[in-house]
Amino acid sequence: MEVDRMKTLVGSMDGMGPAEALYAVAELQKEVGRREASLVRAARRSGLSWEAIALCLGVSKQAVHKKYGKQ
């Protein structure tokens, strides 16, 4: 999903019904998860430590390593 599509979904949520907005949120969460995983892989390839990545994501080093350490 493109960033523009994500912006459109977020911007249009106010006009959506509850069920439609929930579908949009679920779609956005999936895309954010994919983007996060991709960025973590890129960060590791560029030499960032698990601690630095965790700091960027606002989580503990253990949490980020548990989630992405085996990829």
Query: What does the block give as tokens for 58?
Result: 């606002």
Is 30 in contact with 6 (CB distance < 8 Å)?
Answer: no
Tell me the C-alpha distance between 63 and 16, whole Å: 34
Residues 25-63 have pLDDT tens digits of 998 899 899 899 999 999 999 999 999 999 999 999 999
| pLDDT band at residue 1 using 50, 70 and 90 as cut-offs | low
* Averaged pLDDT for residues 8-35: 88
- Rounded to two decimals, the pTM is 0.80
| 7-8-12 Cα angle (round to 5) | 120
Contacts of 58 (CB under 8 A, 6+ apart): none
